[in-house]
């Protein structure tokens, strides 16, 4: 298997040594005994491992400026190749092959035993420069970093083209846009088709595009809970065009149209939700179960927000980790209990508790009082706009007495001191080693 992959002309990336990160190609392969694998000729070699004779590019042509002299400019434009014997474990084979061949009587392992023979071999290897100047095998003479940047540009152009397609066609009930300036993450909206159990529903989806898109399918998930035979509880979708039947010809619009079709005609032969698949043939029971599922998911998401870890994005505590104690809607009502409140804030907000100052390093020169102060954790309690916090996937198991730690505590100094005294119990959790990851400082 190795001999099939590691064949003459195969492009490899050197993984170790002086030329680590450089591209090279195999000139000749040798087995553990030092025999030439292509001819079968035996050799006398002390290397008891499979290895290859490789030729690569050590230094690429560099930028030339007007201030450079002719000699320096000529030196800068030259390509510096290398020739080396490499262990098969120290190179990474790629799927590419170059059509360059060298005289095996000159470029071989024997060239390493004699200085004159090595100079002769290097003179032949330098003929690579002619290929470079002629523009042949151009991708081989491109630095790995530049290749990555090039592929990123291809991806960017493709996604911009698809965005224009979605916007110009203007398909009713379908929309998709990138999340901010990140073109590789999109949010899509899909309206339930008429005449189906999903009529009147609006679903949100997330699309994540890999670096090798469109040759690899994007990861598509429902972010809105969807009771469907081919959608699981986490939003994962079973759709053939997103898996084995994917084609580079498909676009975001194609995916959304296929998903809309899936809502109307599910594939019950390969369900992700067995209960939904079994009820599909009974519209009345399906609609009833779907309604119950959506209510359950909605209440679960509301209740689960308490304890949700967030990162504060603005204000004095920007960059600090905190967790939600209680959520409030635009009217100031408590979302979990439904109790109305009188609040001038006309935006959804949360009461959060977080860590302002983390324990610091203690030295021997510090006194007891200073050392005790340094080891303390300084928490904070604050009301935050939902737009000013970034929710994470983590949840802490800490709860506080809602009669003490609430919005009312901000109206009275004594009540706030009482709430802060309760919040300081976080220090006990920190010392006990519970939720340790929460008490680790974020570094930007």
- Catalytic residues, which ones? 238
Q: d(Cα 247, Cα 270) in Å, to the nearest integer? A: 21
Residues in Cβ contact with 103 at an 8 Å cutoff, skipping those fewer than 6 apart: 124
212, two tokens: 């090798």
In contact, 424 and 343? CB cutoff 8 Å: no
Q: Residue 214: is the preceding peptide bond cis (ω within 30°)?
A: yes
Q: d(Cα 148, Cα 287) in Å, to the nearest integer? A: 49
Q: d(Cα 182, Cα 185) in Å, to the nearest integer? A: 6
Q: d(Cα 43, Cα 320) in Å, to the nearest integer? A: 65
DSSP string, 223-275: SS---BTTB-TT-BB--GGGTTT--TT--HHHHHHHHHHHHHS--TTS-S-HH
Q: b/e for 135-161, b at 16 or more Cβ within 10 A?
A: eebeebbbeeeeeeeeeeeebeebbee
Beta strands per DSSP E along 74-225: 80-87, 91-97, 174-179, 182-191, 202-208, 219-222
Q: Residue 395: is the preceding peptide bond cis (ω within 30°)?
A: no
Residue 326's CB is within 10 A of a number of other CB atoms, namely: 20
């Amino acid at each position: 298997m190795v001999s099939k992959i590691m064949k003459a002309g195969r492009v490899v990336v050197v993984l170790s040594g002086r030329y680590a990160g450089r591209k090279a190609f195999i000139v000749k392969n040798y087995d553990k005994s030092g025999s030439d694998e292509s001819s079968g000729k035996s050799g006398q070699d002390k290397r008891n491992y499979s290895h290859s004779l490789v030729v690569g590019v050590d230094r690429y042509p560099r930028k030339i400026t007007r201030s450079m002299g002719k000699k320096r400019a000529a030196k800068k434009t030259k390509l510096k190749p290398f020739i080396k014997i490499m262990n098969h474990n120290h190179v990474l084979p790629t799927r590419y092959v170059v059509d360059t061949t060298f005289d095996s009587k000159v470029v071989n392992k024997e060239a390493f035993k004699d200085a004159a023979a090595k100079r002769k071999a290097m003179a032949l290897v330098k003929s690579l420069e002619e290929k470079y100047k002629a523009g042949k095998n151009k991708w081989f003479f491109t630095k790995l970093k530049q290749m990555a940047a090039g592929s990123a540009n291809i991806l960017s152009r493709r996604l911009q083209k698809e965005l224009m397609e979605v916007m110009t066609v203007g398909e009713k009930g379908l929309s998709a846009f990138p999340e901010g300036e990140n073109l590789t993450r999109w949010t899509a909206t899909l309206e339930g088709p008429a005449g189906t159990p999903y009529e009147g529903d609006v679903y949100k989806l997330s699309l994540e595009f890999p670096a090798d898109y469109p040759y690899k399918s994007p990861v598509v998930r429902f972010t809105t809970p969807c009771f469907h035979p081919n959608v699981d509880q986490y939003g994962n979708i079973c759709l053939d065009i997103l898996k084995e039947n994917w084609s580079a010809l498909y676009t975001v619009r194609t995916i959304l149209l296929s998903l809309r079709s899936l809502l109307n005609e599910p594939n019950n032969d390969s369900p992700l939700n067995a209960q939904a698949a079994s009820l599909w043939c009974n519209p009345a029971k399906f609609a009833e179960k779907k309604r119950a599922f959506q209510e359950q998911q909605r209440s679960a998401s509301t209740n689960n927000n308490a304890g949700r870890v967030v990162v504060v994005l603005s204000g004095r505590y920007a960059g600090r980790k905190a967790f939600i104690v209680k959520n409030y809607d635009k009217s100031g009502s408590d979302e979990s209990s439904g109790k109305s409140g009188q609040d001038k804030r006309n935006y959804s907000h949360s009461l959060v508790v977080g860590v302002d100052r983390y324990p610091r390093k203690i030295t021997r020169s510090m006194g007891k009082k200073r050392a005790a102060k340094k080891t303390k954790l300084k928490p904070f309690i604050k009301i935050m706009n939902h737009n000013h916090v970034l929710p994470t996937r983590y949840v802490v198991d800490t709860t506080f007495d809602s009669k003490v730690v609430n919005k009312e505590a901000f109206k009275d100094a004594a009540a706030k001191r009482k709430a802060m005294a309760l919040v300081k119990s976080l220090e006990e959790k920190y010392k006990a080693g519970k939720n340790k990851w929460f008490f680790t400082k974020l570094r930007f």
